[in-house]
Amino acid sequence: MRMNRTILLTILLLIIQTAILPWLIPSAWSDRLLPHMPFVMTVFVALFGGRYKAFFFGLGFGLAEDILFYGELLGTYGFALALVGYLIGLAGERKNHLLSFMLLAVGVGSVVMDTIVYFVYKLFQLTSLTYAFALYWQIVPTLLLHVGFALLLYLPVRKWLAKAGAGEESSAS
């Protein structure tokens, strides 16, 4: 797997998330949509690279998002993204990388990640929203954004990572 280039691509996506997406998201939706492009790349790394790479990939980019965006409580997104990356990598070990499985992994992973973040924030009393309202107001719209972004990136990233994974397997033999 081309991990160094994948990390550089994800850094570029993080810059796009920071610099361009706030201009594209309407102001009425800015508090509803919480795009996490490194999350989608973590799912791809989990499916094509394995659970351990996804764990460290998610931990690194989750901590980067914590430092860049969410200064109230550092480590929440790092923990959530690492855990979700590991679990998706564990589920993806059966090597079924169909589009439907990837979209299901992104959808379930998005809900799990945002739920973990919600309950950690609720534990430390950083939010006063109920879970039902947070699910309706932020988690589901963010889920739809993540699934759409993953659908957009599926073919290029699959070719990129699957080719790199096949190259590593043939060189390891």
At 166 the pLDDT is 55
- Report the alpha-carbon distance of residue 80 to residue 2 in Å, rounded: 24
Higher pLDDT, residue 161 or 88 = 88
Q: CB of 13 within 8 A of CB of 123?
A: no
Rounded CA separation 24/5 (Å): 26
Q: Let me know: does 51 contact 89? Beta carbons within 8 Å.
A: yes
In percent, the amount of the chain with pLDDT more than 90 equals 54
Give the predicted TM-score (pTM) of the model. Answer: 0.86
The secondary structure of 120-141 as a DSSP string is HHHHTT-----HHHHIIIIIHH
Look up tokens 């949509």; give the residue. Answer: 33
Contact 123, 75 (CB under 8 A): no
Kind and range of the H or E element at 65? helix 51-68
Neighbours of 173 (CB within 10 A): 5
Name the most confidently modeled range: 64-68, 77-81, 162-166: 77-81
pLDDT of residue 94: 76
Identify the CATH number of the domain defined by range 3-10+38-162. 1.10.1760
Q: Where are the domains of the chain?
A: 3-10+38-162
Report, as an integer, the average pLDDT of 169-173.
45
Q: What is the model's pLDDT at position 97? A: 73
| Secondary structure class of 1 (helix, strand, coil) | coil
How does DSSP classify residue 73?
Answer: S
